[in-house]
Amino acid sequence: MPAVPVPPVGGQVPPVGGPLTPEYYSKSCPRAERIIAEVVQLKQMANPTTAAGVLRVFFHDCFVSGCDASVLIASNQFAKSEQAADINHSLPGDAFDAVVRAKLALELECPGVVSCADILALASRTLVTMTGGPRYDVPLGRKDSLSSSPTAPDVELPHANFTVDHLIQMFAAKGFTVQELVALSGAHTLGFSHCKEFADRLYNFRDRGGKPEAFDPSMNPSYARGLQAVCQDYLKDPTIAAFNDIMTPGKFDNMYFINLERGLGLLSTDEELWTDPRTKPLVHLYATNSTAFFDDFGRAMEKLSLFRVKTGADGEVRRRCDTYNHGPMPK
């Protein structure tokens, strides 16, 4: 006799559409993964800042209402979206362009099938691997959101002036451990930050007791002086930026952690991971053991990619990633 499905204990109904699986598109769009990989690899070769941009967009998508492509919705005259939040102003156009290109190619191959949320998750994985990082599993079947809040990102995402306490609390509130916080921060092995994000470490710096210093003394002095020179006109030109990982900026490796041990962390949130006793041992582990970093980063990214995903009628498969299928207003 065939087994009768037993409802889960506690009366909890599993999400409509079932759990995510790596084979989700194996029948409906078998070449989806290959197409996304090809498109974003070409984009990365033409614009090498794409990988970092896509990875950051993915993080900003997932931490705000789950991995549901809500960050890809464009603001319009009727409604502002997550893109209107201050913290999202610096998300680079090349990252959005990579997703748009992948979506266009997929709509030609299998229209209306592959969600923008899945595209973003797969594009991030491809680009992490392409720049030298680990390959991790990406279960598929996310639906795209039916709303996008302009105020949520500034509340839900970490800022560069947070203390480690605040970071730990924010990540814990979303179910992420201290280890996952440190491993995921290793994404700052790629890309860059604008001077305004770390200028208070360089100019008019005061220690906790209010004593003025030439710069944040936790920084390597030559590094700090170099950054002071690079950023000197940042108020006039807010586009000036510095690499997050000064040693190997385009390579996904564990150099970010090695840098922290040498006072070469760019953001104060980066450097504080090396000074706080709760995070320091993990920084040291990842600085000395790149395999441990890659394993933990891969696991944490897979977990991040499953954060509050929408399935079934909770979402839709958008035809265009920047707008809802029913029109410009959120439902």
Give the residues lining the site for ligand HEM (CB under 6 A).
49, 52-53, 55-56, 59, 90, 92, 158-160, 162, 167, 184-185, 187-188, 190-194, 197, 244, 267, 269
Q: What is the Cα gyration radius of the chain?
A: 21
Which residue among the candidates 60, 166, 188, 284 is catalytic per the annotation? Answer: 60
Q: Residue 143's beta-bridge partner residues?
A: 310
Tokens representing 242 are 């510095």
| Annotation says 60 is catalytic | yes
Residue least distant from ligand HEM (Cβ): 191
Buried b (16+ CB within 10 A) or exposed e, 56-70: bbbbbbbbbbbbbbb
Task: Return the number of the residue (93 or 327) whose C-beta is nearest ligand HEM.
Answer: 93
Least gap, CB of 319 to ligand HEM (angstroms): 27
Task: Return the number of the residue (36 or 178) whose C-beta is nearest ligand HEM.
Answer: 178
Report the distance separating Cα 303 and Cα 200, nearest Å. 33
Q: Which residue has the tokens 């977990």?
A: 303
Task: Return the number of the residue (201 or 318) whose C-beta is nearest ligand HEM.
Answer: 201
How far is C-alpha 91 from the chain's CA centre?
A: 10
- Where are the extended beta strands (E) located within 80-233? 192-194, 205-206, 212-213
Least gap, CB of 130 to ligand HEM (angstroms): 14
Task: Return the number of the residue (194 or 320) whose C-beta is nearest ligand HEM.
Answer: 194
Where does residue 191 fall: left (phi above 0), alpha (psi -120 to 50 degrees), or beta otherwise? left
Least gap, CB of 213 to ligand HEM (angstroms): 22
Least gap, CB of 111 to ligand HEM (angstroms): 31
Among all residues, which ones are annotated catalytic?
60
